[in-house]
Amino acid sequence: MTSTSGPAGRSTLFHRMLRASILDAQMYEEVEADRAATWQAFAVVVFSSVAAGIGGLHQHGWSVIGWYTAAALAGWWLWAWVTYLIGTRVLPDVETRADSGELLRTIGFSSAPGALRILGLISPIAGAVFLLSTLWMLVAMVIAVRQALDYRSTGRAIAVCALGFPIYALILAVSLLLLGPWPL
């Protein structure tokens, strides 16, 4: 597929975001192995968080976009690091071989469905958009973790995410306390 490839045959950012959003496990394997994709994962997190900020404009105004972007980047890094520790030290599988960069890349791409949060601009559906996109991102993260940690079981990936999620939730809670809740 030459139309979706960039330098050295790497998939374009947009194509990878689409594949991440449709929960393509092979795409997560690709970004796990592609060290150059760390910048793409960073861009996905930024894009998703900016979309959330724009989607929440009617509630929070323009100033919130920078805050959500910074919080999303901090949450991404922290959640990847915690997930790495839990997945490789607490709940490793026999085949688990990973480094923190692999988790940064796969988890970064799991935020791709968050781009839909820009639809929060449509007031009547804002709450549903934020809820559904967040759940979609969580499902994508389970797949990302399963692939990055080479788990044979999705259940083990769910357990790792469940143990790491409170860290992310704490960052989100602090953001909500400082800025006010999203419209639900």
- With a cut of 60, say whether residue 10 has pLDDT above it: no
- With a cut of 50, say whether residue 172 has pLDDT above it: yes
Q: How many domains does the chain have?
A: 1
Query: Three-state SS for 96?
Result: coil
Number of alpha carbons in the 13 Å side-chain half-sphere of residue 40? 25
Residue 123 covered by a domain: yes
Quote the domain boundaries for residue 143. 2-179
Query: pTM, whole model, 2 decimals?
Result: 0.86
Q: Is the dihedral of CA 55, 46, 12, 82 positive or negative?
A: negative
Residue 184 covered by a domain: no
Give the pLDDT confidence score for residue 176 in this predicted structure. Answer: 66
Residue of 140, 72, 76, 137 lying closest to 103 (CA atoms): 76
Phi, psi of 11 (to 5 degrees): -65, 150
Phi, psi of 66 (to 5 degrees): -65, -40
Residue 18 covered by a domain: yes
Averaged pLDDT of the chain: 87
Residue 61 covered by a domain: yes
| 109/137 Cα distance (integer angstroms) | 9
Residue 126 covered by a domain: yes
Q: What is the mean pLDDT of residues 17-39?
A: 97
Q: What is the mean pLDDT of residues 98-125?
A: 95
70-84, 100-114, 147-161: segment of lowest average pLDDT: 70-84
Residue 96 covered by a domain: yes
* Percent of the chain's residues with pLDDT above 70: 88
Residue 168 covered by a domain: yes
Band the pLDDT of 52: cuts 50, 70, 90: confident
Q: What is the mean pLDDT of residues 83-109?
A: 95
- With a cut of 50, say whether residue 117 has pLDDT above it: yes
Residue 65 covered by a domain: yes
